[in-house]
Chain A
Amino acid sequence: MPDNTKNGRKVVFWPGNIVVAEAALAAGCNFFGGYPITPSSEVAHHMSHRLPMIGGKFIQMEDEIAAMGAVIGAALAGDKAMTATSGPGFSLKQENIGYACMVEAPCVVVNVMRGGPSTGLPTALGQSDIMQARWGTHGDRAVITLTPSYLDEVYSETIRAFNLAERFRMPVFLFLDEVIGHLAERLEIPDPSEYEIIDRVRPTCPPEDYLPYDSTESDVPPLADYFTGYRYHTTGLNHDASGFPTTNPGLVQSEELRMMNKVYDHLDEIESYEEVMTDDAEILVVTFGSTARAASVAINDARAKGIKVGMLRPITIWPFPEKIMRELGKRVKGIVVPEANLGQIIFEVERVAKCDGPVVGVQKVGGVPIYPDEILSKIEELA
């Protein structure tokens, strides 16, 4: 698409899904394994066109399960790998997502959320996969999930998703919803000098000394690229530092804890959220993704009516920003939690905020976005 420039930045008018694809390329993505599914298909379509231009690889697999497998393989071979899907595909990917967690494969999984369960509403908005991101694959593991609300944020958070995947050697989820995926907005593309690109730590030892899960130097072990002489075993079974299976209870416990703590000990590098007018807020709105944009209008309208309301908008929804949520929960007399589902993130808000006042949802499915007025009336009820 044609561009004009402002302040040296390229100005574009792209839909959210294209922003994801272009930002992934800016982050160094050179492999996409996917299976197209509405409303995420434009990501795959754009990557199929763009990746070959830069010497990258695009492969359309036979289904979403295989696509996730291809992404893990590419990641372990040294690529910055991504897939994009929507609810039904995210369900199918869960088994291999667990595998990616276990073998600590850095990769990015995009989910452009639609209505569900099952085939649900293929072409319409939903935000009902947010707990699936946290708990979808079995077993205990840390999860990083990013939920941008604006297209400039989609760009920066896509880059951040790759950086976090590389930094912590794990799958990172980037969650859009249908509204953000298909919304075209004026967007200034940042110059590469404006953002950092992180690459995984690779081993410096000789191949014969390499242990793929050796955490003596760091809680994130260096990762060797396959086919470079570093031969090691990869398995979904609990394993020791060499990668071979183990049933040693102490070792299993310490390795699983390490994989949790490599995330939870570094929240300062991961957490991201926006606070809007929280300083004097008596009522707080907590929401994410496209719904936060309705909430931003609602809190301004409520302020105009003299209601002291603010908003906490987690950009990193997992790990949930517990510290700030606790602080704000103590200060406010009520919390409104709008989400395009029948009540998911509200449980996390209730659990963490421990607010003395009511915690009420604005919950809507059916594919139609929550309107600002619907949030405003709930704010007014609590005021």
Chain B
Amino acid sequence: MRTELLFCGFGGQGIIFAGKIMGQAGVAAKLETAQSASYGSEARGSACHAGVVVSTEQIGYPKVTKPDILVAMSQEAYDKFINTVKSGGTVFYDSHLVNATETEGVVQNAIPATSLATDIGRRGVANVVMLSAMVASSGIVSKDNLQDTLDEQSPPAFKEINGNAVDAGFGFKG
């Protein structure tokens, strides 16, 4: 069973970080995982993306070609990738940043991640809210896998705010 996830947005939102956390959480969940990222002159403000493949078997092709799950945090990235999503796939987009377009065969979930992150006191954890809402809905890894990985990979000062962001993502019912 192979699942392809693509996180996209613009530099500075923690898109690559979200991809890395997802990959590492997959390892914690004892899945085979492969994580790659757009790698170039992307700096703050320009488009970037991170791909994660999780599988119960050895991963052959390690790159994402047709995502089962798209997590979009900018209009530009959403427009670029929405038509690559596999038929039957799922999209999670930040409703504060993206106007979704009707796409046949794809379930789309609006997550007010930026608003939720702002409510808990740090807009910058919108990426964690998005990631958490996606994990809550897809069940690819457990909440504990995600929370533990975040704790391991973040400075201690972020533990509380990340925890709140995970709760906000898991608690959100669209």
Q: Which A residues fall within an 8 A CB radius of B?
A: 1-2, 4, 6, 11, 13, 39, 123-124, 150, 178-179, 182-186, 290, 293-294, 296-297, 300, 369, 371-372
Contacts and interface: CB of A to CB of B under 8 A. Distances in A.
Interface in B24-45: 24, 26-28, 30-37, 39-41
10 contacts: A39-B39, A123-B40, A179-B63, A183-B34, A185-B32, A185-B59, A186-B26, A296-B60, A300-B60, A369-B63
Contacts, number: 67
Contact of B62 (A124, A183, A300): A183
A37 to B, nearest CB: 14
Contacts of A183: 34-36, 62
A184 B25 CA distance: 13
A182 B39 contact: yes
Contacts of B27: 4, 11, 13, 186
Contact of A13 (B23, B59, B61, B65): B23
A2 B152 contact: yes
A100 to B, nearest CB: 31
Given A123-B40, A184-B20, A179 B62 contact: yes
Nearest to B52: A184
B125 to A, nearest CB: 21
A260 to B, nearest CB: 37
Contact of A4 (B28, B31, B61, B63): B28
A369 B61 CA distance: 10
B40 A293 contact: no
A369 B51 CA distance: 14
Contacts of A179: 36, 62-63
* Nearest 10 interchain pairs by C-beta: A296-B60, A2-B152, A123-B40, A297-B60, A184-B35, A297-B61, A186-B27, A185-B34, A13-B27, A13-B24
Nearest to A187: B27
Interface in B7-30: 20, 23-24, 26-28, 30
Contacts of B61: 293-294, 296-297, 371-372
B16 to A, nearest CB: 11
B33 A186 contact: yes
B57 to A, nearest CB: 11
B23 A184 contact: yes
Nearest to A300: B60
Given A13-B33, A371-B61, 4 more contacts: A2-B153, A6-B30, A123-B40, A184-B34
Interface of B: 20, 23-24, 26-28, 30-37, 39-41, 58-63, 65, 152-153
Contacts of A294: 60-61
Contacts of B26: 186
Contacts of B23: 13, 184
Contacts of A39: 39
Nearest to A182: B39
Contact of B39 (A11, A123, A150): A123
A2 B32 CA distance: 17
Nearest to B20: A184
Nearest to B42: A123
Contacts of B24: 13
Nearest to B25: A13
A179 B36 CA distance: 8
Given A123-B39, A123-B40, A123-B41, A186 B32 contact: yes
Contacts of A184: 20, 23, 33-36
A370 B34 CA distance: 17
A184 B20 CA distance: 8
Nearest to A292: B60
Contacts of A124: 39-40
Contacts of A372: 60-61, 65
A180 to B, nearest CB: 9
Contact of B31 (A6, A186, A371): A186
B162 to A, nearest CB: 15
A179 B39 CA distance: 10
Nearest to B59: A185
Interface-centre pick from A184, A296, A297, A369 (highest chain B CB count, 10 A): A184
Nearest to A4: B28
Nearest to A372: B61
Contacts of A13: 23-24, 27, 33, 35
A290 B24 CA distance: 21
A366 to B, nearest CB: 13
A158 B30 CA distance: 25
Contacts of A300: 60
Contacts of B28: 4
A294 B58 CA distance: 13
Interface-centre pick from B28, B34, B60, B152 (highest chain A CB count, 10 A): B60
B140 to A, nearest CB: 14
Nearest to B152: A2
A4 B152 CA distance: 12
